[in-house]
Each structure stands twice: as C-alpha cells, then as structure tokens.
Structure 1
Amino acid sequence: MRVLLTLYLSTALNFFITWFAAFQHEPGLSVKQIRFSWLVLLLATIFWPIVVPISYWMGSLDNSKNWLPNHFTSSK
C-alpha cells in the first residue's frame, strides 16, 4: 500500500509541476483565467488516477474495433 501511495504522490507532483510551469509561461492571462487555470490544475492533480485508466480503456476499445481486415468492414 505504501508503494501505491508513493507512486500516486510522485506522479501527482510531477503532473502538478509540469502544468504549473506551463501556466506560468502563458503570457497575458486575466485574473479570471488564472483562477480557472488553478482550478483545472488542482482537479487534474486530484483526479488523474481515475481519468487516466478510463482514457486508456476507451482508447483500447476504439483500437479493438479496427482489428477486422478492410474487406470485412467495407460496405458495398
């Protein structure tokens, strides 16, 4: 359990640092945009363990639909 917690915290910190650096390099943000960016940053850091596996699963479902050869799926 300690390994999973360490993995989660290190990955969350990595995402947070990467996105924070991207937000700091964005010129000309209004106060409203900065607040919204902070909200997105915090939500993405908190919910990435839920969103990433779902995204991977959805991507694998899309790829599994394309396993048939073209002559089976083409309509005439």
Structure 2
Amino acid sequence: MHVRDDAQESPIGAVGRVTVSIPPDGPGEVLLPLRGGSESFAAWSEQPIPRHAQVMVVERTSARSVVVVPFPSP
C-alpha cells in the first residue's frame, strides 16, 4: 500500500518567481518548482511584488493559492 507524502507536495518553503505582478489589493501569479516540474499558483502578498522577482511561499490558502514574501528577505 502506498501512502501519499503530503509534505513532498506542499508548496510551503518553495522558492519561485512571479509571472504576473502581485498588486497590493489582489492576487498575482507565481511559478513554483514542484513534483519534478513547474506549477502556477495564484499568489497574494502584504506588499506589491513585481514580475520576475523571486519569492518564497509562507502559506497555502487553498489548493491553487499561496501567500508569498520576497526572497531573499530584505
């Protein structure tokens, strides 16, 4: 019997890049390296983050939404 390891599938702690700028009042989009490939997630942040910036996931709010912070942190 195979048991799924959710820790391997969690995006928390993943470092990716912004593909659609994250505004202060809504989501943007990030591309994260997961499961041997890349996956897109809707991304929220407490501060605006420009396209192409590196970010790290600090929280998962739904299956396809995450909260990110700039990486490396200032």
Task: Verify same fold: TM over 0.5.
Answer: no
Q: State the TM-score, normalized to the length of structure 1.
A: 0.24
Larger Rg: 1
Q: Which has the higher contact order (CA 8 A, sep 6+)?
A: 1
